[in-house]
Chains A and B, each alone.
Chain A
Amino acid sequence: MTILTKDALLEVRGLRVWFPVKTGVLQRTSHHVRAVDDVDLTLRPGETLALVGESGCGKSTVGRSILGLLEPSAGNIWFRGSNLTLMPGKERQRLRRHIQVVMQDPASALDPRMTVRDCIAEGLDSFQIGADAQERTERVADLMRQVNLDPESMWRYPHEFSGGQRQRVCIARALAVDPTLLICDEATSALDVSIQAQILNLLGDLQKARGLTYLFITHDLGLVRYFATRVAVMYLGRIVETGRTERIFADPRHPYTQALLASVPSLDPDRRSETKPLVMADIPSPAHPPTGCHYHPRCAVRLPHCDAQVPEAVPLADGICRCVRAGAP
């Protein structure tokens, strides 16, 4: 399936990342962990796509593949119409400047021995942006102002900053090379509630000012509803549903999406979640996923053949749903 969406910024088709599991003295590959299995994604310019799922579902692996930090086992990634997976290394490197990342833990993302100025200027140096060190320092100061940091503090070290300020440094560093696509991998999960709002507002402002496209990788559905234009829900390596944010929240079609939404804790004191404490099903391991539809052992509405067949992607008006019941009204 290689029908490309018109004017897509990023197009992921049939992405597969399988990690071999080697066993025994001969280290033979006994089986694979199918971290990502036939994933399709489309990002249009200026939109925010939230890639949602629980830990181990493969959402970060998708992000890492797009960033070129992982070699996919199969599949293609097109960026602005060029196939990144077929491109020679140098050219690919040049294009990947347009795809930057902000990760969860700003403490480990920054080199503790480098000043904040050098942390932010790293990308400028490697892509040779700016004529000399002086000009790069000026660019760093400008970037720091854009993320509401005091440029006076650029000669200090990361540990002298708070968690929220360090995340601002990471955002400034990502923006330094003027990217088009920003991948935010749980970028606000480690922050305090009051600081998370600051960073989300900053990301919103930067998106408007620079026309950025976001791939928001997160497990936090409250944040998704607030921030994303479209949502892709992942479960054990596969995308089970995609669609516009409003529709996903108002009318989730996949039983897993429904369960995920039902688990969002309410802040209304008259409404507690309705989870039954003793109904318990665990998330299976991606090394030994269930047969057929991966969700079938936990599914309350499964049909007899759900354990045998991988469900097709049923097209919806605004996305897809991989469930045999999706076609039915």
Chain B
Amino acid sequence: MTPASQPLLSVENLTVTFPGESGRVPVVDGVAFAIGRGETLALVGESGSGKSITALALMRLIPKPGRIEPGSRIRFAGRDVLEMDVPEIRAFRGADVAMIFQEPMTSLNPVVPVGAQVAEAVRLHEPVSMAAARARALETFALVGIPDPQQRLDAYPHQLSGGLKQRVMIAMALAMRPKLLVADEPTTALDATIRAQILAVIRDVARRTGTAVLIITHDFGVVNEVADRVAVMYAGQIVEEGTRHELLRAPRHPYTQGLLRSIPRPEARGGRLEEIKGIVPRPGHWPQGCRFHPRCPYVFARCREQWPVRRSVSATQGAWCHLLDEEAAP
């Protein structure tokens, strides 16, 4: 549930499947969320949670033989993304929604200067002159804090450091002035001091340009740096959602609680870390009932049989956990 009455993006019942040994296997299973204009949502999860596939599905970039199942709904600024024809979806990608990936090294063309790559991307979506596109590239280079932007336009990717390449990728995404920026683990490949800078750039640019951001991450440190709201995914489903403050201060799902406690923190020094037992289940091997139940310290009979429904904790926080039903019961 978003605070805005008319969300920029709304996703309902999103289900993505891939073929498995015995029929199609869901990787994303009935996911629903919304993002308001100018809002930053973090989608948090471990490997195999379906968070990256969810991001790709928004742009209809699910690699074959993957498939978005009928019944899924994705609406963007009042338009049905899943009904768009090929020219429409091409225009939608880049102009409305732009994406940045984890590996800036493999996303740039090594034999074209970076300024020309950004200008080219602009001209792909807008009928502007090369000079105007180059001016736009210069403007966005400055926006994302690339030092000496004029000179850097003519640099080749190999002449730039990892942090600078990621800034170029962000500049390229923003040059089309999208309404939504999707960032999939944008800082995972970067060093600590550079990571902090890139997160600050994303936060700063989102605020200054009013761009909404969907950030995909496994790192609650990243969540705290950039997100307004957070949705936690486990085994293809959202298990908890809420504001940044709510989830970091008072998580209600045992999985969110466990994740936060298992991060090494100075207070716990010397003692044992709290661990979540067991392994992260792979798609196709998801347990019955609540998918977290085999690893949950509070598991009881109903958890093994029934998938819990969303329980509201506040106007903005909700969790899919039977424990909250127990508490609500008289």
Residues on A facing B (Cβ under 8 Å): 54-55, 162-165, 192-198, 200-201, 204, 219-223, 225-227, 249, 259-260, 262-270, 272-273, 275-280, 282-283
Contact = CB atoms under 8 A, between A and B. Distances in A.
Given A55-B191, A267-B260, 13 more contacts: A162-B282, A164-B279, A194-B259, A194-B262, A260-B193, A262-B196, A264-B221, A265-B219, A266-B221, A266-B224, A280-B163, A283-B161, A283-B193
Interface stretch (B7-15, B25-33, B96-104, B244-252): B244-252
B264 A280 contact: no
Contacts of B203: 277
Interface in B215-265: 218-222, 224-225, 244-245, 248-249, 258-260, 262-265
Contact of A194 (B162, B258, B282): B258
A201 to B, nearest CB: 5
B71 interface: no
A226 B272 contact: no
B191 A283 contact: yes
Given A222-B265, A265-B225, A197 B276 contact: yes
B251 to A, nearest CB: 11
A13 B194 CA distance: 31
Nearest to B272: A201
A227 B264 contact: yes
Contacts of A204: 272
A226 B200 CA distance: 26
Given A264-B221, A276-B200, A277-B200, A192 B46 contact: yes
29 contacts: A54-B193, A55-B162, A164-B279, A193-B219, A193-B262, A193-B263, A194-B46, A194-B258, A194-B276, A194-B295, A197-B275, A198-B277, A201-B272, A204-B272, A225-B265, A226-B264, A226-B266, A263-B193, A264-B221, A265-B196, A265-B222, A265-B224, A268-B224, A269-B224, A270-B245, A275-B199, A280-B147, A280-B163, A283-B161
Contacts of A280: 145-147, 163, 197
A194 B200 contact: no
B301 interface: no
Given A225-B264, A226-B268, A273-B225, A282 B273 contact: no
Contacts of B163: 280, 282-283
B269 interface: yes
A163 B222 CA distance: 23
Max count, chain B CB within 10 A of own CB: residue among A195, A268, A277: A277
A232 to B, nearest CB: 16
B192 interface: yes
A198 B12 CA distance: 35
A259 B193 contact: yes
A193 B260 CA distance: 9
Contact of A201 (B191, B266, B273): B273
A194 B275 contact: yes
Contacts of A200: 264, 273
